[in-house]
Structure 1
Amino acid sequence: MTTATRSPSDVDEPPAARRSGRARRRSGRTDPAFYWMVVPAFVLFFVFHTIPVLQGVFYSLTDYAGYGDWRFVGLENYGYIFGDARIRDSYLFTFRFAVLSTVLTNVVALAIAVGLNARIRFRTTLRGIFFLPQVMSILVLGYIFNYLFSTTLPYLGQKLGSETFSTSILADEDLAWIAIVVFAVWQATAFAVILYLAGLQTIPTELYEAASIDGAGRWRQFRHITFPLIAAFFTINMVLSFKNFLQVFDHIIPLTAGGPGTSTESISMVIYRGGFQGGDFAYQTANAVLFFLVIVAFSLFQLRILRRREMEA
């Protein structure tokens, strides 16, 4: 006569618990405890994120100055935005800056990542060094770059006889944006390098060995093996970089503070200055809502285009 064997969990659990657990597994239902574990995070997110966002959308339909009384004005604020020259110029500057910085960041980061992924000495140490800009304060780094562009670069320009760089480019309306792009690309490259290195780790070395046997050089290997296989990481980096650069604020404050004049004023700076310092709270809230929709639209457009390219690759 044979006796059924029971697992240790069956011995430790009461019969009622075993029956209820088996019933849940048979019915495919999730234990309610898992839902209760999510409740605290959901409440915090709803209170500190969702409610303020909904309040912002509501205030964008009023003439609220951030204090005192207010009245409902509908879409009047949104109508004024499209005729505001300062906001239009800030959008143009921000998009030019974001497009150029995104391209440069990904080109530089991909080149560094491919180089660090090669069999070179001290590559682990070099990875840590390249990641340092990501963990340091942007404002601190910004003031360091401010000193470089205001003092060091003009000194070198005078020694080399360059009239353009003999004075601080931060005071030049036509050149100040270059300093912001250089600083932003240098700081953002660190995170992009880490993502590309993670993608390169997923490529089997056998593919490169087979390509080398077939006579493929490094450029052909990169074009036909490396880049297609890290297409998903390229998509992530492009979307994140463009989104972050559209929201540029910290990089501008220590370098130019939006100047000279308003030549390097980003959308985020206009929203901050007008909403919290200029008394146009509702007006700039409408600008923030519009800016949010623009970022979402461009992010979705990027994902659609880049994912299509992934499938074709």
Structure 2
Amino acid sequence: MAILTTSTVKTEQATADAVPSRPRRKLAPRAFYWFVWPAVIAFALFHTLPVTIGIFFSFTNYAGYGTWDFVGIANYINIFRDDRVLRAYGFSFLFAIVATVITNAISLAIAMGLNAKIKARNFWRGVYFVPYILAVLVVGYVFQFLFSNSLPKILSGIPLFRDNILTSPEWAWTAVVALAVWQACAFSIIIYLAGLQTIPADIYEAASIDGATAARQFRSITFPLISAFFTINVVLSLKGFLQVFDPIIALTNGGPGTSTESVTMLIFRGGFSGGEFAYQTANAVIFFIVITIVSLLQFRVLQRREADF
């Protein structure tokens, strides 16, 4: 009995020695912190600290120079009473909604074409991505020449293009939309292509055998399976278009008058050269909150749509 017990103990001990013990968790090496802390400090100095200072000054009457006094929430109250600010918000949302719809419609159509079996597919992917890597100001001046000189001569028979469309308070914003959509489509096409390539070809073959038309395949197969990519594109597009600045600077500079003045342009003009630093900082805080709320609502609605699929 004693021999059996000793043998059992030795067997268990050998088994325990054979099984590797779970390694103890070690702290990250010091080199890790030396790499992380500079980034954290730089982010705090160039992002968090300026934002905090800006929020602080939004409760003052600071003009960007000289002395200042606390005014409480007066700046925030006056923003909702300022017709110019409200017009800028109206233009920004109108522009963003129209540009988002057009961008995603065109991008999805082009992506589906590129994803099909066509010749030189990789070449055309590169061609469509070129606008995204070009400087928007440089391209904007090219578009400005196009709208102000070329189109009035080429399309002289069309009343809308007979004169420079950039001088029309009613239609100048459409030129800004054209430039913004032309450049934004490049990034959206890449996102949609990534989504389309995740769909197995067997699904389309089975649908074709069952007699599903191209429209039915898009409605029942393609769009439901790329709905997550659609959500990403719509959220990023709307957020980016709400902050439109460069295309307006290049084409209209906010004109004619203030017909194409966006919120970001109003903040820039009033805050840096108009002596309204504190007032426009309060406007920037409100604009940040608005964009955050809009983006969260988009995610909630569109992701619920994904679940329905």
TM-score, normalized by length of structure 1? 0.90
- Whole-Å Cα distance in 2 between the matches of residues 99 and 170 of structure 1? 20
- What's the Cα RMSD here? 2.0
Q: Give the structure 2 partner of residue 23 of structure 1.
A: 24
Structure possessing the higher radius of gyration over alpha carbons = 2
Q: Could you tell me which amino acid in structure 2 is paired with residue 170 of structure 1?
A: L
1:89-238 equivalences in 2 (<5 Å): 89-158=87-156, 161-238=157-234
- Whole-Å Cα distance in 2 between the matches of residues 162 and 294 of structure 1? 39
From 254, 269, 273, the counterpart of 2:269: 273
Q: Give the structure 2 partner of residue 304 of structure 1.
A: 300
Q: Give the structure 2 partner of residue 9 of structure 1.
A: none
Q: Give the structure 1 partner of residue 4 of structure 2.
A: none
- Give the paired residue count: 293
When residues 35 and 304 of structure 1 are mapped into structure 2, their CA distance, relative to the original with a 3 A threshold, is farther
When residues 32 and 300 of structure 1 are mapped into structure 2, their CA distance, relative to the original with a 3 A threshold, is farther
Q: Could you tell me which amino acid in structure 1 is paired with residue 37 of structure 2?
A: V
Offset of residue 119 of structure 1: 0.2
- Whole-Å Cα distance in 1 between the matches of residues 113 and 216 of structure 2? 16
Task: Write the deviation string for residues 145-198 of structure 1: whole angstroms up to 9, x where unpaired.
Answer: 00010011100122xx22321110000101101101111111100000000001
Q: Could you tell me which amino acid in structure 2 is paired with residue 112 of structure 1?
A: I
Q: Could you tell me which amino acid in structure 2 is paired with residue 22 of structure 1?
A: P
When residues 36 and 144 of structure 1 are mapped into structure 2, their CA distance, relative to the original with a 3 A threshold, is same
Offset of residue 215 of structure 1: 1.1
- Whole-Å Cα distance in 1 between the matches of residues 254 and 277 of structure 2? 20
1:33-72 equivalences in 2 (<5 Å): 33=30, 34=32, 37-72=35-70
Offset of residue 66 of structure 1: 1.2
Q: Could you tell me which amino acid in structure 2 is paired with residue 31 of structure 1?
A: A
Secondary structure at the residue paired with 1:271? helix
Offset of residue 40 of structure 1: 2.2
Q: Could you tell me which amino acid in structure 1 is paired with residue 244 of structure 2?
A: V
Residues 1:82 and 2:83 are matched in the alignment:
no
Secondary structure at the residue paired with 2:161? coil
Q: Could you tell me which amino acid in structure 1 is paired with residue 122 of structure 2?
A: T
Q: Give the structure 1 partner of residue 282 of structure 2.
A: 286
What runs of 5+ residues in structure 2 fail to find an aligned partner? 1-13
What runs of 5+ residues in structure 1 fail to find an aligned partner? 7-17
Offset of residue 219 of structure 1: 1.1
- Whole-Å Cα distance in 1 between the matches of residues 34 and 216 of structure 2? 53
- Whole-Å Cα distance in 1 between the matches of residues 264 and 246 of structure 2? 10
Q: Give the structure 2 partner of residue 14 of structure 1.
A: none
Q: Give the structure 1 partner of residue 253 of structure 2.
A: 257
Offset of residue 36 of structure 1: 5.3
TM-score, normalized by length of structure 2? 0.91
Task: Write the deviation string for residues 217-269 of structure 1: whole angstroms up to 9, x where unpaired.
Answer: 21111111111111110000000000000000001011100000000000000
Question: Which is worse superposed, 162-171 or 288-297?
Answer: 162-171
